[in-house]
Amino acid sequence: MITKSRLLITEGQTILRVGLRVMLGREPDLEVVGEADNGHDTLQLVDAVSPDLVMMDLGAQGADGTDTIAEIRRRHPHTRVLVLTQQKTEQSIRRALRAGAHGYVLKDASNAELITAVRSVLAGKLYLSPSISDKVINVFLVGGRIAGAQSDLEALTKREREILKMVAEGRTSRHIAAHLNLSVKTVEKHRSNMMRKLDLHNVSALTTFAIGQGLVTTG
């Protein structure tokens, strides 16, 4: 018996969502276990059904789809995320990958490409649609990682790395201040500088980055 990978689809357009469900459901190794049209419902379903992969449209997530990606990765680090979207700016791609997405496919992709993307991401690979320019691929892929991530980490001071690790572990600024013998104001200043350097703007994104860099573990 074939072991099926469990998929959750998040797509704001009902017709497209149904089409994706039918197409993916025809594959013998894939099973669609849930559907949503917004970020809030996506997070509830991920908690409920623990899918192997979430395929989501950034435009269906409300104010900021990358926040949903980061929250999925924080709550369920073993769940893979594949973005399926019309957005193809460098900023959109950069933000999605930094939030923790494992793949980025444009909606003009063929069915065959989409299936390839799903299976690649499920296999632990990072997938970018070939229709994205070579320039973007070169910017964001270096040995299967997000280009610049290591240099970004190296740009942090020793103190900022300490605070990054503790933030990712869920500690508050007051707790960090007490542990490091600093004032809360000083900790907040370090946090602000750190987030500016990394171009990350919330705790979920910082946590995802820290996990990816091996500063904290998910076990």
Q: Do 92 and 58 meet the contact criterion of CB atoms below 8 Å apart?
A: yes
Containing H/E element for 8? strand 5-10
Buried b (16+ CB within 10 A) or exposed e, 79-94: bbbbbbbebbeeebbb
What are the φ/ψ torsions at residue 81 (nearest 5 degrees)? -125, 125
DSSP secondary structure, 26-52, as one string: TSTTEEEEEEESSHHHHHHHHHHH--S
pTM: 0.65
Tokens linked to 179:
């542990």
Tens of pLDDT, residue by residue over 125-168, are: 878 888 775 545 554 444 444 444 555 677 788 899 899 988 88
For residues 35-46, give the mean pLDDT.
Answer: 92
Tens of pLDDT, residue by residue over 78-104, are: 899 999 998 887 778 877 887 888 889
Which domains can be identified in the chain, with CATH numbers?
5-146 (3.40.50.2300), 149-212 (1.10.10.10)
Q: Decide if pLDDT at 76 tops 50.
A: yes
What are the φ/ψ torsions at residue 160 (nearest 5 degrees)? -65, -35
Q: Decide if pLDDT at 63 tops 50.
A: no
